[in-house]
A and B are shown apart, each in its own frame.
Chain A
Amino acid sequence: MQLPIYFPLGLGALLFGIGLWGALTRTNAVRILMFIELMLNGVNLNLMTFTRYYYPENATGPILTLFVMTVAAAEASIGLAIILQIVRNRGTVEVDKVDLLKG
């Protein structure tokens, strides 16, 4: 039995949406970073689904997925380094308490 494409696509959109929701409403910087990872996973699932269903002869989608994973790893390490720095100097990971620069 064939699974219609909107199941995996819907799942990808759901993951992205949960990630976006969390990233916009939470204040803990480590958490926000996790939600961004979740969003990127939604993107990856999208790319893979489209490739598998419509363009299986195409290598671009999986390769872009691989690049997204690599970049996500680099991004997470930089983000966590920045967060560690904040905690050293300010003792908090709450974004709304980091407010020396008034907005």
Chain B
Amino acid sequence: MPIDLSSVNPNLLIILPPGVLAVFALVVLVLDLYSQEKRWLAGLSLVGVLLSLVALWFASRPGAVPPGDYFGRMVTADHFTFYMVAVLLVAAGLVILFSMDWVPRRLPKVQVEYYELVLFATLGMMFMAASRDVTLIYLGLELSSQASYILAGLLRNDPRSNEAALKYFLNGALASAVLLFGLSILYGLTGTTYLPEMLVALGQAPLPLLVTAMVFVIAGFGFKVAAAPFHLWAPDAYEGAPTPVSGFFSMAPKAAAWAAVLRVFLEGLSIPQVMDKWSVLYAVLSASSMLIGNLTALWQTNVKRMMAYSSVSHAGYILVGVAAAARAPEVGAGAVLFYLLSYILTNAGIWAALVALENQGEGTEMADFRGLAQRNPALAWSLLLLFVSLIGIPPTVGFFGKFFLFRAGVQAGYVWLAVLMAINSAISVGYYYAVVRNMFFEKTEKPRLELGSSLQAVVALSVLAVLVVGLGSSPVIQYAEAALGLLGR
């Protein structure tokens, strides 16, 4: 039987960005064997990420890759793919940049493996965001999750890091199994793993079973994005994992999981009978994540742990957009996409500050932030601005992110949820202020806090992005909403 290649539809340009990243990851892995000096390999990983961004720019030029599905309908060329892959690459680049001083100090023996795992995880996430086929979404999710479990446990002589890895692993593996069970029922109801076909076939599916499958899928993704009540692993994983790794967790894997949520629910499960149901379920998850995340964060004394609860509450804010997307797809999902970018840009600077503290041999407790305004005024003021953005005060990018989510919520008729989001933003002032108070109103004898050039670059980029993307948000949100032009029908 001859092989019919017409159904495959290969296109090299569309897989060039992940391809470049994969090649660099492998080259770095091999060069590790022959090189004594490891620092330039970190630089090479960063070059890989940047070249992958360049390749993405080539692929996303109008007309370079005609919109559609390639490689046996496994990868999709649309604005959504290009936008999310770009966001993920930016996140990976920032993480590599703020790890460069930390890794030689704390992981001297496995420096290259660290970057390696970050690159592999990013590769998996890129496919998660780029695919409309559940098979590839699942495999991308697994690649990124497994690399993440290992990253969490890299400080192998530190019991806290072991514990973080174990908890992350057990919860993540359980979540994958639950997600997969839901997906297997969806496959059984429709006979396909390709989301647009699934959408067509779902019309005839028996509703009770469909809803059961949907609940499993929501629970599985709920674990991955750490939405309450599926968030219990997150604080432990964030606190115990190596600090730059926790920063990575809060930025990239979550964004990829949100991309997969939008794909699966807007392209696969968007028949009217179930849309209302998942919309309400997500609204409930949103409310509980916001409340639990914010109220628990108020009691934390460790800033890494506080940021974990803060990320739970931010998952709640994003869920407002997801819930709204059922009724107003373009506005809701566009707001989610914009918020992901804003959250990543803001978080990068905050985690860079935490990494800087660890680089000087200090911890990440609230007390370690005492007198930071004396020790490094520029960093303290930058952090203040970044916290302002996380709270959502104008003119920062966080304000615009929250504003778009709020607007989406109101347009979709979730006024109560939008109001709850505003109230929660006010609550969140409490714990961010605790850090700010320590920085500005406490005295300390500690010496000046020095930032390496790469950390300075991350903080500067973060601050700049928070101001510029905030003020120039209208083109970005337009692009984000256009990204939904091919989605959500």
Interface residues of A (CB under 8 A from B): 9, 16, 19-20, 23, 29, 32-33, 36, 39-40, 42-43, 46-47, 49-50, 54-55, 58, 60-61, 63-64, 67-68, 71, 74-75, 78-79, 82-83, 85-86, 89-90, 95, 98-101, 103
Contacts and interface: CB of A to CB of B under 8 A. Distances in A.
Given A46-B188, A60-B193, A78 B146 contact: yes
Contact of B142 (A71, A82, A103): A71
Given A47-B187, A68-B180, A85-B153, 19 more contacts: A29-B166, A36-B170, A42-B181, A43-B177, A46-B184, A47-B188, A54-B188, A60-B135, A67-B138, A71-B139, A78-B149, A82-B149, A82-B162, A85-B165, A86-B163, A86-B166, A98-B162, A98-B163, A103-B232
Nearest to B141: A71
Contact of A43 (B156, B167, B184): B184
B427 interface: no
A78 B151 CA distance: 11
9 contacts: A50-B184, A60-B193, A64-B187, A68-B180, A75-B176, A79-B173, A85-B153, A100-B240, A101-B235
A75 B173 contact: yes
A75 B174 contact: no
B192 interface: yes
A82 B169 contact: yes
**Residue of A29, A47, A82 most packed against chain B (CB within 10 A):** A82
B472 interface: no
A76 to B, nearest CB: 9
B67 interface: no
B235 A46 contact: no
A47 to B, nearest CB: 5
B36 interface: no
A35 B248 CA distance: 29
Secondary structure class of chain A's binding surface, majority of residues: helix
B240 A36 contact: no
A46 B149 CA distance: 27
Contact of A90 (B146, B162, B240): B162
Interface in B127-155: 134-135, 138-139, 142, 146, 149-150, 153
B160 to A, nearest CB: 5
B169 A78 contact: yes
Interface residues of B, number: 40
B104 interface: no
The residue in B187, B191, B239 that gathers the most chain A C-beta atoms within 10 A of its C-beta is: B187
A47 B184 contact: yes
A54 to B, nearest CB: 6
B6 interface: no
Contacts of B43: none
Given A75-B142, A86-B166, A89-B157, A67 B173 contact: no
B192 A60 contact: yes
B413 interface: no
A61 B187 contact: yes
Contacts of A32: 170, 174
Contact of B162 (A36, A46, A61, A86): A86
A49 B153 CA distance: 38
B159 interface: yes
A36 B177 contact: yes
A46 B232 CA distance: 29
B383 to A, nearest CB: 24
Contacts of B174: 23, 32, 36, 39
B239 A85 contact: no
A14 B476 CA distance: 48
B164 A95 contact: no
B185 interface: yes
Interface in B206-254: 232, 235-236, 239-240
